[in-house]
Structure 1
Amino acid sequence: MTWTTNEIPEQSGRTFVITGGNSGIGFEAAKVLAGRGARVVLAVRSTEKGDQAAREIGGATEVRQLDLADLASVRAFADGWSGPIDVLINNAGVMAVPLGHTADGFELQFGTNHLGHFALTNLLLPQIVERVVSVASDAHRAGNGFDLTDLDWRRRKYRRWPAYGQSKLANLLFVLELQRRLTAAGSPIGATAAHPGFAATNLQSHTGNARVDRVFMAVSKAIAQTAEGGARPTLFAATADIPGGSYAGPDGRRQRGAPTLVGRSALASDAGLAERLWAASEDLTGVTFPAEALAED
């Protein structure tokens, strides 16, 4: 049976935090959830853009400032939060951008797409009730050159697409190890992942290369599914009754179709690599898994 958003039950009384929810698939997911009565918090870098998105979304939609490329901002967001979060959706990201660095000196794609969400999730975990959803990508398969000794691409020649693939592979390894730790801690929280397939969003039009941007937009108009379609795997991963550690994506060819559980690369299933990446991420961010706080719950 094909899953549709019509299967999402009433969400009144539930809180969803969506990073980067002011545009693209995050915006589309927020619209659906708010339409089901959820309180939706858009955690965004630009509150001006967030406020505009919130007005379009309607319902109980709020905006809070969060810059995932700055760990001080991540900590400020977590410190300023009070009350339960039913579902945290780690959606924001950058894709195939020129070499750059976060406020803390990390390579921009790895620092934003993985480390920012790693820190945010662990800081918020004591307040999360049900689920953490991380938006990955089938581009994780391009992360085969994953090098734990050079996560910032300082010794290798920087290549934007392999760097993006590395960051998306890190998202899946993060979910793998997070679920293992949650299970070991006896926590009921689940960790799931989703990828949108090939969706026409503004992410593809901000690679920092004008020619690449034009090609992406032309291809997107021709074959990609809409941002609304791309949001469905995220909504499936966030609301459907699926096991922790699951990975959702489109069920059709050409990265389109209804959401279902999908496979991942062998590297993305490497528990040992996931554990080592977690340790490296703790060292880089100074944020650790809150095992004691979860045990107290």
Structure 2
Amino acid sequence: MDRTEAFEAHRPRLTRLAYRMLGSVAEAEDAVQDAWLRWQGAGDDVADPEAWLVRVTSRLCVDRLRAAKARRRAYKGPWLPEPLIEEPAVDPVERAEDVSVAFLLALERLTPLERAVFLLHDVFDEDYAAVAETLGRSEAAVRQLASRARIHVRAARPRFSVSEEEVSRLAMAFMAAAVKGDFAALNALLAEDAVMISDGGGKRKAALRPLIGREDILRLLQGLAWREPESWESLEIRPARVNGYPGAILVSEDGPATVAFEPGPDGRLRGIYMVRNPEKLGHLR
């Protein structure tokens, strides 16, 4: 296997790792491209190409996360990861909850090193010794970082099982009720403690704070239906799998958006995540 073939064989894994680290499709692709450039300059004595590439990609992502801190603090309104539109996972280490918006937001609370350790060990099944070598830390330090990270992300992992068919039904029922302005149906579909987050990044209209609770969400939707009824009538809805959950690509006169729906334990929706920032939607086709 030549150098290019070796890299391409591992590119999907590197891209998945980089996306979870960075929460951005474009930045993940850039990080993997940087890893490719370094791979081109590596010597011929690399014994384990996959381990070498994972190590380099992880370090590149940690550096990018550290550099992004100031940008994240200055971000206008709630921040959401770039939407990931993909086919159902086939890799055994690829689980839908590991790309869910709730999970990626939980990762945002971690330091760059905590995030790298957690993802490498708990999501991509690297042993502690390999993670320690990758990040240039002792194995004891890595175990400590992993323990702290798990405390932060534990709440984001689903503690219930909902079939994909049921979540798809809830998602499509929500979109249909929103377009029709059927607020009684919307009320029935939302969990009482549901959360809706919309990310416009200051580039397009979006709520400047998370909407907490069913009543808060319904008030916003009612206000939009009253102020901009024509935007609902002309909305094009393309069902899609967004961040591991059923969702949709929404196309309106002012451009595309994505929405992902997270189910709750009571057969209702507990999370609605909408990305409207055009800078995060350039990868959509």
In the superposition, the TM-score normalised over structure 2's length comes to 0.26
> Which one has a bigger Cα radius of gyration?
2
In the superposition, the TM-score normalised over structure 1's length comes to 0.25
Structure showing the higher helix proportion among its residues: 2
